[in-house]
Amino acid sequence: MKYYEITRKTNINGIVPPGLNGKNVKNKEDFFDNDKCGPDRFYDKLYEFDYLVPIEFGDGRQDKPSKAIYDYHLWFGEEPWGGWFAPVSNCFKKVLEKFNLGEHRFYPAWVLFKKQRHEYSVLQLLYNSYEKYIDFDLTVFNNLDSFRDIEGRQFTTKPFLSVQEVKHYAKANWGSGVNWNYERIVMKPEFRDIDFVTFFKFGDIVSERLKNTIEEAGLTGIEFKELPIPIEFSDEI
């Protein structure tokens, strides 16, 4: 089983896909800037994102009308904070519901485009849910930064018992809490059941079977990238 990073497509027919802005969401102050959710917990209620508006990326483009909307967008402008949230179309949601996304929740949302409301959802994934699947006995870390750069340090590798232990050690010995990476990542066999997860240092990753289904469905605004190192499984080693 291969895994891929899933990201917003950076260019569609010469145009950067717009981001979605929550500036017109009703009562957004009740749940945009508060402590009702976080990286490891969901909102306390099933809030509605009514409504989001497409905004062009780049200085001076905020008032230009968007030429299209897509199945997968990033935020641009006002957005909820404290957790991982992705606006997705109803078509994308139907595809995702057929797969195992791990710990997640969908919140109802609408996008106003060309004076019409389009049904969307805001997907929330819990940040650290992947960690319980790491086989720390076989996984090895190094002191490269997020860009896999050594930045003049002497290259070293080391196993750890948890991601928190990696962060503490990196801060104390490698110069900064972000100066670490995976030298080898090995997951427990049950991780094969997971199809979509946010994976620190890798970004948002999807299984090959979900990638293939997204491509076959013709969902828009999405591209995939190879991971910098492959994900392995302990029962294959």
Pairing of strands 140-142, 181-187: antiparallel
Is there a contact between 127 and 81 (Cβ–Cβ < 8 Å)? no
What is the per-residue pLDDT across 121-138, written as a single tens digit (0 to 9) for each?
999 999 989 999 999 999
What is the per-residue pLDDT across 77-108, written as a single tens digit (0 to 9) for each?
899 988 899 999 999 999 999 999 988 999 99
Pairing of strands 181-187, 231-233: parallel
- Asked whether the predicted pLDDT for residue 152 surpasses 90, the reply is no
Same domain, 96 and 160: no
Distance separating alpha carbons of residues 135 and 190, to the nearest angstrom: 11
Same domain, 110 and 81: yes
Residue 237 pLDDT level (bands cut at 50, 70, 90): confident
In the prediction, which pLDDT does 79 show?
Answer: 93
Contacts with 222 (C-beta within 8 Å, 6 or more apart), sequence order: 6, 7, 8, 9, 70, 71, 72, 214
Q: Could you tell me which of 75, 132, 78 has the C-alpha nearest to residue 103? A: 132
Same domain, 81 and 169: no
- Asked whether the predicted pLDDT for residue 110 surpasses 80, the reply is yes
Domain residues for 165? 135-187
Distance separating alpha carbons of residues 187 and 185, to the nearest angstrom: 7
Q: What is the mean pLDDT of residues 204-209?
A: 97
Whether residue 151 is contained in a domain is answered as yes
Instruction: Out of 96, 127, 158, pick the residue that ends a domain.
Output: 127
Q: What is the mean pLDDT of residues 72-76?
A: 92
Percent share of the chain, pLDDT over 70 = 96
3 state DSSP class of 91? helix
Whether residue 92 is contained in a domain is answered as yes
Question: Which phi and psi angles does 50 have, rounded to 5°?
Answer: -125, 100
Q: Could you tell me which of 193, 188, 190 has the C-alpha nearest to residue 100? A: 193
- Asked whether the predicted pLDDT for residue 233 surpasses 90, the reply is yes
Is there a contact between 124 and 102 (Cβ–Cβ < 8 Å)? no
Instruction: Out of 75, 101, 127, pick the residue that ends a domain.
Output: 127
- Asked whether the predicted pLDDT for residue 177 surpasses 80, the reply is no
What is the per-residue pLDDT across 10-63, written as a single tens digit (0 to 9) for each?
888 877 889 999 999 999 998 997 788 899 999 999 999 999 999 887 655 556
Please give the helix or strand (H or E) that residue 154 lies within, else none: none
Mean pLDDT (the chain) is 91
Same domain, 166 and 115: no
Same domain, 17 and 117: yes
Same domain, 117 and 97: yes
Number of domains making up the chain: 2
Of 11 and 144, more confident: 144
Please give the helix or strand (H or E) that residue 7 lies within, else none: strand 3-8
In the prediction, which pLDDT does 17 show?
Answer: 86
Same domain, 45 and 155: no
Whether residue 39 is contained in a domain is answered as yes
In the prediction, which pLDDT does 65 show?
Answer: 67
Distance separating alpha carbons of residues 13 and 187, to the nearest angstrom: 38
Q: 223 to each of 26, 48, 95, 220, how far by Cα in Å? A: 31, 27, 16, 9
Pairing of strands 49-55, 104-113: parallel
Q: Could you tell me which of 219, 180, 231, 225 has the C-alpha nearest to residue 86? A: 219
